[in-house]
């Protein structure tokens, strides 16, 4: 199996520059820092032993704030290394964690991964969310790096996919020193896959968000731009979802609809759609006052989601009205904003169930969207009931960052 993975990655390796060039046409940042991705000419600027944290992109990187704070405060003799997969994740890490070494994770090719481990020699590695990279995990064991999967999530749907390839996946997954699960269902699914290491339920570090000064300042800017308009935010919408939304909202309602596509390459897609429907719109990137006649604002910016939530009256979670499994509703609720989401929330099944039970969220069909938004926009008493339950929901599930930190501390000291 090990030889199979090595052969596969060497076959794929020559295609990676083509992939990066293709991505670079949409986002030029993909054309930068290739040496980090390929493990070439790497440099460790610190003499301290390394604690390595890996997150794919923006959401996972933000979710580490409390954990990084705990490490830097309580383990000053260690250096934090944060790796990302995407340019937006890297930019977020550089902004949030000025004391950390920020680096792209190496491509999952043996020579790239070996170079990474030889350069940084991490004492422990924490991979946020369920990221399975065979060579990265295999060589961690070779270089004696205890590797943990944190914020691990494995839905029933994903379990069925994993189970089909159990013969190939489990020899890799069983190299993790431990899996720190978001919920009981995830833990049960890893058990069913015959995971043999330490398995625990620690919750989700996304409940431990930290609002920094940059976000506070951005909120003040947004308040000036939007003025007294009530904002209904559609967060992280996916392909085809914007048209569904525009067909199921009341454009005569006295609100401003803020739509934020999940991927930046789709900002222009939304703009063309609004033009075709003759709907008045403005773009966040214009940085201009939102006019009273503007019905839709395109949230064409990255890393500003918390500030968008903060100025919202209500948030509708994208990816939940098509079969995408939904996006993370925790950040909106953390900012004390009630949420609505559709029927497809399998990526956040427990969060969806718990938030609706506590009463800070509603789950609806797309055909019910217009009525639901209108009711909450017009019925202040009903809206305030949802809003008052947001803090209860967040408080109930906070504290997982401390649990991850305890694992790190126990392993190192």
User: What pLDDT, in 10s, does the model give residues 149-203?
Assistant: 999 999 899 999 999 999 989 999 999 999 999 999 999 999 999 999 999 999 9
pLDDT computed for residue 387 by the predictor: 97
Residue with tokens 């599930």: 397
Q: What is the pLDDT of residues 46-56, one digit of tens each?
A: 999 999 999 98
Q: What is the DSSP string of 134-187?
A: HHHHHHHHHTT--EEEEEE---HHHHHHHHHTHHHHHHHHTTSSEEEESSHHHH
Tell me: pLDDT of 23 over 60: no
pLDDT higher than threshold 90 for residue 87: no
Contact status, residue 363 vs residue 342, Cβ threshold 8 Å: yes
Q: Rounded to an integer, what distance in angstroms lies between the CA atom of residue 226 and that of residue 231?
A: 8
Q: How confident is the model at residue 35 (pLDDT cuts 50, 70, 90)?
A: confident
What mean pLDDT comes out for the span 265-282?
97
Structural domains in the chain, sorted by start: 2-209+398-412 (3.40.50.11720), 213-397 (3.40.50.2000)
pLDDT score recorded for residue 12? 58
Question: Three-state SS for 279?
Answer: coil
pTM as predicted: 0.85
What is residue 303's predicted lDDT score, i.e. its pLDDT? 83
Name which of 53, 95, 49 is nearest 75 in CA terms. Answer: 49
pLDDT of residue 9: 57
> Which residues 6+ apart lie within 8 Å of 204 measured at CB?
63, 151, 182, 330, 351, 397, 400
**Structure letter (DSSP) for residue 385:** H
CA 61, CA 205: separation in Å to the nearest integer? 10
Spatial distance between the Cα atoms of 366 and 321, rounded to a whole number of angstroms: 6
Between 168 and 344, residue with greater pLDDT: 344
198-201/178-181 β-pairing: parallel
Given a contact cutoff of 8 angstroms between Cβ atoms, the answer to whether 401 and 207 are in contact is no
Quote the mean pLDDT of the chain.
Answer: 92
Residue 324: predicted pLDDT: 95
């Amino acid at each position: 199996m090990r030889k199979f993975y090595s052969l596969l990655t060497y076959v794929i390796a020559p295609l990676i520059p083509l992939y990066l060039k293709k991505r670079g046409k949409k986002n030029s940042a993909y054309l930068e820092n290739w040496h980090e991705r390929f493990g070439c000419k790497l440099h460790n600027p610190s003499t301290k032993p390394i604690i390595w944290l890996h997150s794919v992109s923006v959401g996972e990187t933000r979710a580490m704030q409390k954990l990084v704070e705990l490490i830097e405060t309580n383990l000053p003799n260690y250096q934090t290394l944060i790796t990302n997969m995407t340019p937006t994740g890297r930019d977020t890490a550089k902004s949030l964690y000025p004391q950390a070494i920020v680096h792209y994770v190496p491509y999952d090719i043996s020579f790239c991964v070996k170079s990474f481990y030889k350069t940084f020699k991490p004492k422990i590695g924490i991979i946020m969310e369920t990221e399975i990279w065979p060579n990265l995990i295999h060589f961690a064991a070779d270089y004696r790096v205890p590797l943990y999967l944190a914020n691990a999530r494995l839905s029933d749907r994903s379990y069925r996919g994993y189970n089909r390839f159990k013969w190939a996946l489990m020899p890799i997954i069983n190299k993790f020193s431990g899996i720190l699960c978001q919920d009981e269902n995830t833990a049960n699914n890893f058990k069913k896959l015959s995971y043999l290491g330490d398995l625990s339920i620690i919750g989700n570090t996304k409940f431990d968000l930290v609002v920094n000064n940059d976000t506070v300042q951005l909120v003040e800017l947004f308040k000036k731009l939007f003025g007294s308009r009530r904002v209904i935010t559609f967060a992280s919408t996916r392909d085809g979802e914007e048209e569904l939304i525009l067909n199921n909202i009341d454009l005569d309602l006295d609100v401003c609809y803020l739509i934020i596509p999940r991927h930046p390459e789709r900002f222009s897609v939304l703009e063309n759609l609004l033009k075709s429907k003759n709907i008045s719109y403005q773009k966040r990137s214009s940085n201009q006052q939102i006019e009273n006649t503007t019905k839709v604002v395109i949230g064409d910016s990255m890393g500003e989601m918390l500030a968008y939530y903060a100025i919202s009256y209500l948030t509708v979670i994208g990816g939940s009205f098509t079969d995408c499994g939904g996006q993370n509703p925790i950040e909106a609720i953390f900012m004390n904003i009630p949420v609505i989401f559709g029927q497809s929330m399998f990526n956040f099944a427990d969060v969806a169930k718990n938030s609706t039970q506590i009463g800070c969220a509603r789950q609806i069909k797309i055909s019910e969207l217009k009525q639901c938004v209108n009711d909450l926009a017009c019925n202040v008493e009903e809206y305030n009931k949802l809003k008052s339950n947001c803090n209860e929901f967040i408080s109930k599930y906070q504290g997982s960052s401390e649990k991850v930190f305890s694992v790190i501390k126990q392993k190192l000291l």
